[in-house]
Amino acid sequence: MTSRSGRWADLTRIDFEALDRARAIVVLPIGATEQHGPHLPVSVDSDLAEAVVERALPLVTPDLTVLALPTLSYGKSNEHGTIAGTLTLSARTLMGLLTDIAESLSTTGFRRLVILNSHGGNSSILDIAARDIKIDFGLTVATCHWYNFNEAAALTDPSEQAYGIHAGLVETSAMLTLRPERVVMERAANFPNRAQDWQARFRHLGLSAGRARPAWVMDELNDAGACGDAASATAAMGEQLLTNAARNFADFLAEFGRFCDGQAAPMPGNA
């Protein structure tokens, strides 16, 4: 290993034995394998999570050791489950996978875990799993989503931010950067989201701005399995989104390291 940070799968047993495992930050990218409309491949979420981590690793400060686990390319995607191409895990199975990975880390001396997610359907499970992992195995855990690092709000209008939630402007632009040969732009469109009607009709109910959010499946939002202005996507926007996400994620990893160091330090008066 030529750097203190890199891909978990590239290391040997000797490399692992030489690490300060208690201070190393382990990153688990998690996506999904699910339909993304008529124009994008089913790999979108996994491609995005992996790309952000790969781009962030060279930006990590040299005082940190960050190890990227192999991307978990399956998630809880049953909101897309009736659409061909989607492979979904149950909540129980995903919880079990995360728990087993965390137990393996704990058993071999690792104490810091970051889960970088790129699929909204995983988010609630990841938060529950993170707390259980902290309690059961003593790891310091943080969960995060690539969207919260990509500064899309500066590049898209409020309507796209609220309703372009799947295979829209952001994801299509990012895929034009990462895998342009797999994007079928002649099928891209401005896919409407029926949730806009919910918020026009109801005071409390809505997808993003409402006080209460109903459970939904993709077919209820758009028959094509996409929501957002995919037709306006550009590779230039995708590059900016990914650059922002990698830079901010690398900065977060440094912050997380400092947070973990503070957690390990004795509280004032308890030394």
Q: So what's the pLDDT on residue 198? A: 87
CATH number of 6-264: 3.40.50.10310
Q: So what's the pLDDT on residue 208? A: 74
Query: Exposed, middle or buried by CB within 10 Å (0-12, 13-18, 19+), for 31?
Result: buried
Q: What is the pLDDT of residues 62-118, one digit of tens each?
A: 999 999 999 999 999 999 999 999 999 999 999 999 999 999 999 999 999 999 999
Q: So what's the pLDDT on residue 115? A: 99
**Rounded Cα gap, residues 228 and 159, in angstroms:** 9
Positive or negative, the CA dihedral 207, 212, 213, 214 is negative
Q: So what's the pLDDT on residue 75? A: 99
Question: What's the average model confidence in pLDDT over 143-155?
Answer: 98
Output the six-digit token pair for 268.
């004032």
Question: What's the average model confidence in pLDDT over 108-130?
Answer: 98
pLDDT over 80 (residue 12): yes
Could you state, in order of their start, the residue ranges of all structural domains in the chain?
Answer: 6-264
Q: What is the pLDDT of residues 45-54, one digit of tens each?
A: 999 999 999 9
Q: So what's the pLDDT on residue 163? A: 95
Q: So what's the pLDDT on residue 199? A: 80
For the whole prediction, is pTM greater than 0.75? yes
Q: So what's the pLDDT on residue 104? A: 99
User: Which residue's structure tokens are 């875990």?
Assistant: 113
* Region of poorest pLDDT, from 23-27, 86-90, 96-100, 201-205: 201-205
Question: What's the average model confidence in pLDDT over 195-200?
Answer: 88
Q: What is the C-alpha R_g of the chain?
A: 19
Count of CA atoms in the C-beta half-sphere (13 A) of 246: 19
Residue 2: band (very low, low, confident or very high) from pLDDT cuts 50, 70, 90: very low
